[in-house]
Amino acid sequence: MGSTTAAPRRRRGWLRLTGRAIGVLVALQFVLMGLLVVGQTVPDKPIVDNLLAAIKEGTYGPSRIPDRMGTESDTFTECVVVGTGLGADPEESARSRAARMPRIGNCDGGAEDVKAVAAGKVFDYDYYKYWAGYTVFTRPVLAVAGMDGLRILSGTLMIVCLVGAFLAVRARTTTSVATALLLPFVAGTNMLSTPSTSLSQSISIAFIFLSVVLTAQGAKRSPY
């Protein structure tokens, strides 16, 4: 009798778990879209002013510059990232901009595009990318602190997440395991140069480490 009632109970449990997971996934879409809208409420002008200053100082682009660790930095992606969300019609709503994510061109012509936006040009390049959520971080920081401030904060975020990942893994395993997991990444890549040459990669690396933190924390609730 017990075995006949246990199977339906397990089935109902899995159905509840699946329904909950689907509900969280659907709700997450609204949260992420909301973050895109928040990023787009930041006006373009202070961002463009600070990018113009970075162009003048030589800290915006050009692409393919040395990264101080023997390889080329990903400044091309950096130029695209800081230009994502720029160039829309000022009358367009933040929600509309968040949905289609306007942007300037690529890094090779980015400086001229920034100057064109400053002169009032409207760009019609749509950038339908699910991961453009970084604009909720990049646009406010660019508007307030410019490229230098964004480099400092992205580097700080990366280091904080690295330390958090190390401590989270060590708490679930040992110091040796945490070191073996993270040391090859730190010592064998150009990670430490990314804040000064390709801040977009610092942001990506920070979220890689954050996923490690969340996985280690989630492991506390599972026997596996």
Q: Where are the domains of the chain?
A: 2-219
pLDDT at position 158 is 95
Cα–Cα distance measured from residue 146 to residue 48, given in angstroms and rounded to the nearest whole number: 9
pLDDT for residue 44: 93
Question: Which 3 state secondary structure label does DSSP give 140?
Answer: helix
Instruction: Find tokens 């990049």 and name the residue.
Output: 138
Bridge partner list, 84 = 103
* Burial grade of 86 (CB within 10 A; 0-12, 13-18, 19 or more): buried
Question: In the prediction, which pLDDT does 5 show?
Answer: 66
Q: Is the pLDDT of residue 219 over 90?
A: no
pLDDT of 197: 81
> 2 versus 84: which is more confidently predicted?
84
Q: Is the pLDDT of residue 172 over 60?
A: yes
Pick the more confident residue, 80 or 31. Answer: 31
Give 123's DSSP letter.
P
Confidence of residue 128 (pLDDT cuts 50, 70, 90): low
Residue 180 pLDDT exceeds 90 = yes
Distance of CA 150 to the CA centre of its chain: 12
Can you tell me the distance from the alpha carbon of 51 to that of 79, in angstroms, rounded to the nearest whole number? Answer: 10
Place 38 in a pLDDT band, splitting at 50, 70 and 90.
very high
Mean pLDDT (whole number) for 119-133: 75
Mean pLDDT (the chain) is: 87
Chain centroid to CA 69: 23
pLDDT of 12 reads 82
Work out the burial of residue 59: count CB atoms within 10 Å of its CB; fewer than 13 is exposed, 13-18 middle, 19 or more buried.
middle
Q: How far is CA 193 from CA 51, 76, 106, 172, 189, in A?
A: 21, 15, 22, 30, 9
pLDDT at 19 over 60: yes
Examine the pLDDT at 153 and tell me if it is beyond 90: yes
Is residue 157 within 8 Å of 66, Cβ to Cβ? no
Write down the pLDDT at residue 130. Answer: 60
pLDDT number for residue 183: 95
The most distant pair of C-alpha atoms in the chain lies apart, rounded to whole Å, by 79
C-alpha 8 chain-centroid distance: 43
Residue 4: per-residue pLDDT: 61
| Alpha-carbon gap, residue 147 to 49, rounded angstroms | 11
pLDDT of 43 strictly over 70: yes
Task: Tell me what pLDDT residue 184 has.
Answer: 94
Which residues, listed in sequence order, are joined to residue 72 by a DSSP beta bridge?
66
Label residue 79 by pLDDT band (50, 70, 90).
confident
Q: For residues 161 and 69, is the Cβ–Cβ distance under 8 A?
A: no
Is the pLDDT assigned to residue 223 strictly greater than 80? no
